[in-house]
Structure 1
Amino acid sequence: MSVTLLLGSASTSRAAILTRAGIPFTQLAADIDEAALVTDVPEPRVQAQALATAKAHAVSNMLLRDTLPDGPTYIIAADSVFEFEGHAYGKPQHPDVAIERWRAQRGKAGILHSGHTIIAVLGGRKQRIVQETVSATVAFANVSDSVIDDYVATGEPLFVAGGFTLEGHGATMIAGVDGDPNAVLGLSLRAVREMLDRLGVALTPLWTATE
């Protein structure tokens, strides 16, 4: 029986990570109130995992409500929270917020936490749930105010955790990464493979499914 991997996210970055790895998947975005969910969760690492788990449940609930899966389906969800000087930072969303954050973090380092949750939908219901949070330290270049202003003006950092990315323009402002770079991009492939292993699903046979 074929296995379906469903990415529970609208993120183009996470989709691109799976695509580059030759992993076949479908995609369905989660709709959750992120701000309300983390109100009572101060720890950045715990926030990231809570958001990933909420997304996975939201997507699996939509799937079971609207379309009964034909076979085993595994919902993969992830979310990231940036920790800087002990505080949690999500997406800046506004240019002035992004500028303020970048001026504070330039020349320093923070920790990007990416929570991962996989829910196995078997026999028309949720059967098993596995979770893992992957963290990596990101060091930032000591860039000038004008570089920060120009970067924020591109709009790239507004809707990513911590206001930065390893892709695009943001790559020019990262001094180094200690940890899984894919986790910083939003989805640790190592974690996904090991989590699927725990659910009895081997990832490598799926590589040939797209050939």
Structure 2
Amino acid sequence: MPHSHVSPVPLVLASKSPARLATLAAAGVTPRVVVSDVDEPAVLAAARERFGALEPADAVLVLAQAKAEAVAREVSDALVLGGDSMLELDGEVVGKPADADDARARWRAMRGRSAVLHTGHWLVDARDADDGGTGATLGATSSTTVHFADVDDAEIDAYVATGEPMHVAGAFTIDGLGGPYVERVEGDHHGVVGLSLPLLRSLLAELDIPWRTLRDAG
């Protein structure tokens, strides 16, 4: 039986990503940001030791979970959301480029082609039991196919020179300077930005928390 929440449900975003924060803000949700100090390579290494080779869709989920659970240990009055994104091109994971040369090479490989952007989401209910907290921990991955424009070398050089590609997974944005170079996506474009709002809404529904209660908290 659905229960109504008397007060707004607070959300903590366990991510320093300005794009994730902006996506939530545009949807009327104002989370508190608490960045985890998770050692991502160590988390992935431990996961591989336990489970073997990880598919990109699983790797982002493992990292999102690690971030959310680390922050949830520090808070006791909110839902905690962790996120992580990776681009999969030709079966290989593509993270943030090492430098400008790497970003240029990446774009030459991607132009005129498609890749899959995986974004892991992990939600921990760290609210006090008196406030309806359940201690639940659950997550899912949003995977969206991204089709890149067939841009020439001069356009790539100019984009890399802006510095933007060096700060984002896959060396591109859909909501910033890279937007003109993404021809279309198959899936939720929010997931490409860094946080799938429909997926988050469905995770909340599993905890019997209506989306509107987060928006009211803003």
When the two structures are superposed, what TM-score results if normalisation uses the length of structure 1?
A: 0.90
Which of the numbers 24, 36, 39 marks the counterpart of 1:33?
Answer: 39
Partner Cα separation in structure 2 for residue 36 and residue 209 of structure 1: 35
For residues 217 and 12 of structure 2, the distance between their equivalents in structure 1, rounded to whole angstroms, comes to: 15
User: Identical aligned pairs, as a percentage?
Assistant: 39
Asked if structure 2 preserves the Cα contact closer than 8 Å seen for 1:60 and 1:126, the reply is: no
Question: Over residues 107-149 of structure 1, what are the superposed CA-to-partner deviations in whole Å (9 max), with x where a residue is unaligned?
Answer: 1000000000000113389811011101000011111111111
Aligned partner of 2:125 in structure 1 is 120
Matches within 5 A, 1:12-51: 12-39=18-45, 40=48, 41-51=53-63
Distance 1:74 1:205, change over 3 A: closer
Q: 1:9 to 1:153 in 2, by over 3 A?
A: same
Look up the match of 2:148: 140
Alignment partners' CA distance in 1, 2:183 and 2:208: 39
Q: 1:206 to 1:45 in 2, by over 3 A?
A: closer
Per-residue deviation at 1:172?
1.3
Residues 43 and 88 in structure 1, CA contact (< 8 A), matched pair in contact too: no
CA distance in 1, matches of 2:39, 2:103: 21
CA offsets 1:17-48 (integer angstroms, 9 cap, x no match): 01000123211112222233334344211111
In 1, distance between residues paired with 2:137 and 2:69?
10
Whole-angstrom distance in 2 between the partners of 1:142 and 1:20: 31
1:1-211 map, 5 Å: 2=7, 3-39=9-45, 40=48, 41-63=53-75, 69=76, 71=77, 73-123=78-128, 127-210=135-218
Report which of the two has the higher share of strand.
Answer: 1
User: CA separation in 2, counterparts of 1:116 and 1:89?
Assistant: 18
Residue by residue over 1:154-205, the C-alpha shift from the partner in whole angstroms, topping out at 9 and shown as x without a partner, is 1101121111110221011111111100000000000111111111211113
Matched residue pairs, number?
A: 203
CA drift of 1:209 comes to 4.2
